[in-house]
Structure 1
């Protein structure tokens, strides 16, 4: 593993048409009156806000980085879906799930405080935890949503909901929402009581008709809860009363059926997401109609990152590119090419965007221009979403453990070099 501030993959960038031009200065004008997202007090979760922006404007990405610590054997399976990400804890530490089915709590220095086991085997945990002042909520591929004591890791309750949970829960402070998969294949959306695990709501009539692996978004301003599913449909419920308002179907003529596997992000009346029909969409939250879509060179299963200060959506594709798109129009500002598919979500900070690729690399790029800042190479693929907290970067790779044990799918902390 090494940090390298040279430009990655020159041939792929040229071939994919990296469209930035930095000689004339920044390409993206700041927004006069940026929108604000919803961050419930005392709650840390996958993409930060209920709207899933993945936006951390108070954090900066260093000009160069080095490894502070490495936690081995976090993701050792061969399942190709995006892996879970770290969530910060109130004391400055973090919790890190793994496809081993183990949730690990660590200090910022990498000291393991406790490990909590789920009953799952095989695919383990793919979703990212919700952390409150005293509780950690996480779903696993055993179809169970768990609540663990933040201080001790002791199980508080466990609610079996279906066949598998591959998405991350979202907590608005009153209800924990989670998408659940059934083996038929079918699926459903649930809302649970955070104290007891009691099911407060399930949409048993309009449930997604194929595995919902997508992490839902809640948009209080628009009054919507949205989630995608493998049936290629985006579902929109009213919020907070949870009545189905509309469904939006991606391109039904595409051979991939338009699966929506990644997290949904919402902003300014629109829902943003990628589809297996090789497009990135904005759908109107009011009526579920398409505002725009952008064709990429491959399927898209990443969750978009949103920067309200620039009015830009950052989204990845299996064509190896990270795209910077105008949130209102879908116009492309720039694209940054890597050697393989992007499946994890980008994290947007004050100055830069950080994201991983299946080319076994973590990248940092300038968010205004898409120019490379640095790259860190790994033995495994980087599909977890980076957490940037207190100037450090936490994330995990996936690498099936060979018999000789040389590669083990570790979690990392990077700091300024």
Structure 2
């Protein structure tokens, strides 16, 4: 989404109505793309070094990688979950689903869990890629509606062009009866037996759920396209409270996965604010005005600072966790839908132009370096405006009140290799996926 796009569509007519990610458990005993985004406490700023390898899939990558025991796991729009050797970048095994894999994996007890647009959530043996069990939801799909964002024709159903992800699972670590939780496009939150796939309970929201649940003190926190953040009892599936965000035309829905720290729940929405609410009561503590930018990136909280990305303003923000006061901001070249990973003094994140950044978080946004996808290097001169994403510029004078023309602009942007996948840091290397179909491994400078 681009601010100028929203302004133009608003001026033309109506507006109505993308995803996100990170479950932070109290104990970091599973491996998850959306679990704890703090990877180490290295006292040095560690810029990006050389590319170690790139593994090519046959589809866009929106899934975020995880690394365990020398293997990188990541999903692709080509329908496969890939297990890639961490050192060589060679294929270890791959598992075929019946649809695009926009969910991100979680590993527990030699099983890797993933969701697919075929409507199934899968448990797969990490040793050989064989299916352990699968569970069928009521169906998975891109969020959409008639005349989305006021685009024409107003009576045509349109997939939302900024809805990238499916919900990624989280595990409740009970030794004898572990639970697997995830949301679904059918509006349900599901609780399954993580070892058998047997259904325990469901919770029904009033809209699709594409962000991932967070488990904290026996409560699940998860948002929905219905604009509500829900707190759900993890044992019973009963609602504890809900917090409603704005429902303004064009600015409705929650795609960001929450972060929880110090009994506070932090999350962004399309409405467009970033919120801090009390984890026990659901009462608002503070909110940050993102100035007409959707917040689809999921936050990380480190040393009482909240790090989160924005869409239209292209910012990585550092906010005071207690007050919401802006401490610093760093401007990238395009939308920041990738959720940051924090390793010591360094924040790692990508943007929608195919740039991936390493930012010294103690430099007030002044010390950083970046890596560009090969596609960005090739196509940026013809797509970007002074190296910045610009929806109106990329439209080249076409009528962007039409959905078909908006889709053409997004397809142009996809040529750049946008990075909406969120990074994982392991063994002095950072891993992330790109819409150019590659999973990248970039060494860090020592």
Structure 1 unaligned blocks of 5 or more: 1-35, 78-82, 400-408
Match of 1:411 in 2: 439
Moved more, 68-77 or 209-218: 68-77
Distance 2:229 2:420 in 1: 23
Distance 1:325 1:139 in 2: 32
Match of 1:201 in 2: 201
Match of 1:282 in 2: 276
Structure 2 unaligned blocks of 5 or more: 1-23, 142-165, 376-416
Please say if residues 128 and 168 of structure 1, whose CA atoms lie closer than 8 Å, have aligned partners that are also in contact.
yes
Match of 2:151 in 1: none
Match of 1:103 among 64, 69, 81: 81
Distance 1:162 1:385 in 2: 27
Q: After superposition, what is the alpha-carbon deviation per residue over 1:65-112, rounded to whole angstroms, capped at 9, x for unaligned?
A: 1101111125438xxxxx1111112x2221111111100111112121
1:48 aligned onto 2:35: yes
Which protein is richer in helix relative to its size?
2
Distance 2:267 2:191 in 1: 22
1:251 aligned onto 2:246: yes
Please say if residues 25 and 35 of structure 2, whose CA atoms lie closer than 8 Å, have aligned partners that are also in contact.
no
TM-score, L = length of structure 1: 0.80
CA RMSD of aligned residues (A): 1.8
Please say if residues 61 and 391 of structure 1, whose CA atoms lie closer than 8 Å, have aligned partners that are also in contact.
no
Distance 1:260 1:240 in 2: 24
Distance 2:98 2:45 in 1: 37
User: Residue 136 of structure 1: CA displacement?
Assistant: 0.7
1:359 aligned onto 2:353: yes
Say if 1:143 and 1:61 are closer, same or farther in 2 by CA, change over 3 A.
farther
TM-score, L = length of structure 2: 0.75
Match of 1:302 in 2: 297
Distance 2:208 2:48 in 1: 40
Please say if residues 324 and 334 of structure 1, whose CA atoms lie closer than 8 Å, have aligned partners that are also in contact.
yes
Match of 1:86 among 44, 65, 71: 65
Q: After superposition, what is the alpha-carbon deviation per residue over 1:314-356, rounded to whole angstroms, capped at 9, x for unaligned?
A: 0111120010001111011000001211111111111110000
Moved more, 256-265 or 149-158: 256-265
Distance 2:113 2:321 in 1: 31
Match of 2:116 among 121, 140, 158: 140
User: Residue 40 of structure 1: CA displacement?
Assistant: 4.6
Distance 2:75 2:45 in 1: 24
**What is the SS of the residue equivalent to 1:181?**
coil
1:171 aligned onto 2:199: no
User: Residue 126 of structure 1: CA displacement?
Assistant: 1.2
Match of 2:365 in 1: 370
